[in-house]
Amino acid sequence: MQKNKVLVTGGTGYIGSHTVVELQNNGFEVVIVDNLSNSDIKVVDRIQKISGKRPAFENFDLCDAKKTKDFFKKHSDIKAVVHFAAYKAVGESVLNPLKYYHNNLVALINLLHAMGENNVSNFVFSSSCTVYGQPDELPVTESSPIKEANSPYGYTKQVSEKIIRDTTSANNFFKAIALRYFNPIGAHESALIGELPLGVPNNLVPFITQTAIGLREQLSVFGNDYNTPDGTCIRDYIHVVDLAKSHVIAIKRLLQNNNIKDFEFFNIGTGKGNSVLEVINAFEKVSEQKLNYKITNKREGDVEKIYADTKYANSELGWKAEKTIDDALLSAWNWEMYYRNNLENKK
């Protein structure tokens, strides 16, 4: 039987690479498009090592409309697209908003155009809990109001969802699912792929593991006078492999189910909130490492607390997070150690 072919943009990135593994494990044929702006081509070898299959790979920037169109002409058998390729650092987006608006929105528009021209109708979008801004009530449900975003990064996700919603309403054949991720952390159990930001990490967990392994001197905890039990921000940290699996379910739903709404969106989190200090304590426990950290100023663009109500994803998608925060932190630590001691040496 011929396999369904799926385009994964940003497929060598952190969430993208884990999703490619899960898609291949579920019998999909994958082609990755990535401009390697925040990832390493060696990830393709590692995906092959894990899943026994090598995804096709093309290196170009989706902001290039012509290359995007040419790509779809060449791969006319693509059945669905999972779109990860975007910038994602909250703090950087505050300092350089145009970089974020340009990259995240132009790439999406080019992609939707090219899909429409080639009758590719199924789209899964990598969205974020950031679309809720700072919600008044927690946990946040899919029907919680969309508040003002706290950062240009957050706006790009809000506007992207709007662009996708309008595109699906204007074109009967288009169907899309936005997955609103909470905070993905952790790595594949093989320790062959994980979060590997180029340069200094913006996100908490890679900063923790790089500090523990001695690459960074000290972790800064951004503020301890928030209105939370220990004063540090609260997030819903979800294992990246659990998150990756939600994309396989979304793709199957789009391909198999004709009765779903044109545009659907789901919270993809664990339903549990943890503070920054709780994450640090859990990391110290599972890794048996003492972490050097200090409390510093708040980071601009951060929301105080957010965690998901996942009932809708549980009942409607049939998806549920299975791994714990300890599993995720241990896998992140194993990945950091394996990468620094083995993979990096083989560069």
| Residues assigned a catalytic role | 153
User: Going by C-beta distance under 8 Å and a sequence separation of 6 or more, which residues neighbour residue 179?
Assistant: 124, 125, 126, 127, 243, 246, 247, 250, 265, 266, 268
Nearer to ligand UD1, 68 or 104 (CB): 104
The answer to whether residue 243 forms part of the interface with ligand UD1 (CB under 6 A) is no
Task: Give the nearer residue to ligand UD1 in terms of CB position, either 193 or 303.
Answer: 303
Nearer to ligand UD1, 14 or 72 (CB): 14
Q: Is 121 in the site for ligand UD1 (CB under 6 A)?
A: no
Contacts 24+ apart (CB under 8 A), 186-189: 186/239, 186/240, 186/241, 186/323, 186/327, 186/328, 186/329, 186/331, 186/332, 187/240, 187/331, 187/332, 187/334, 187/335, 188/18, 188/21, 188/50, 188/240, 188/241, 188/331, 188/335, 189/241, 189/331
End-to-end, the C-alpha distance of the chain in Å comes to 38
Residue 299 binds to ligand UD1 (criterion: CB under 6 A): yes
Least distance between ligand UD1 and beta carbon 238 (Å): 10
CB of 141 to ligand UD1, least distance (A): 16
Contact (Cβ atoms closer than 8 angstroms) between residue 154 and residue 306: no
Q: Per CB under 6 A, which region of 101-109, 160-168, 191-199, 202-210 contacts ligand UD1?
A: 202-210
Indicate which single residue of 9, 24, 121, 128 sits in contact with ligand UD1 (rule: CB under 6 A).
128
Contacting ligand UD1 (CB under 6 A), which of 14, 71, 207, 307?
207
Question: In sequence order, which ranges of 213-304 are alpha helices (DSSP H)?
Answer: 240-256, 276-287
Q: How far apart are CA 71 and CA 148, in angstroms?
A: 36
Interaction between residue 240 and ligand UD1 (CB under 6 A): no
Closest contact distance (angstroms) between CB of 120 and ligand UD1 is 26
The C-alpha atoms of residue 12 and residue 217 are separated, in whole angstroms, by 28
* Count of residues in contact with ligand UD1, rule CB under 6 A: 24
Q: Does 221 bind ligand UD1 (CB under 6 A)?
A: yes
Residue 159, judged by CB atoms within 10 A of its CB (0-12, 13-18, 19+), counts as middle
Q: With CB under 6 A as the contact rule, which of the stretches 40-48, 50-58, 171-179, 217-225 interacts with ligand UD1?
A: 217-225
∠ CA 128-188-293, nearest 5°, is 70
Element (H, E) at 179: strand 175-181
Which of 96, 190, 202, 289 contacts ligand UD1 by CB under 6 A? 202
Report the residue from 171, 190, 203, 324 that binds ligand UD1 according to the rule CB under 6 A. Answer: 203
Q: For residue 269, give the nearest of 253, 301, 246 by alpha carbon.
A: 246
Please give the residues from 164 up to 193 whose contact with ligand UD1 meets the rule CB under 6 A.
Answer: 181, 183
Q: Are 75 and 31 in contact (CB under 8 A)?
A: yes
For the bound state, the minimum distance from the C-beta of residue 314 to ligand UD1, rounded and expressed in Å, comes to: 19
CB of 76 to ligand UD1, least distance (A): 33
Q: Which is nearer to ligand UD1, 89 or 187 (CB)?
A: 89
Q: Which of 30, 78, 90, 124 binds ligand UD1 (CB under 6 A)?
A: 90
Instruction: Provide the minimum distance between the beta carbon of 53 and ligand UD1 in the complex, in angstroms, as a whole number.
Output: 28
At a CB cut-off of 8 Å and minimum separation 6, what does 294 contact?
A: 218, 219, 220, 221
Choose between 56 and 295: whose C-beta lies nearer to ligand UD1: 295
Q: Which residues bind to ligand UD1, rule: CB under 6 A?
A: 88-90, 128-130, 154, 181, 183, 202-204, 207, 219-222, 233, 235, 276, 299, 302-303, 306
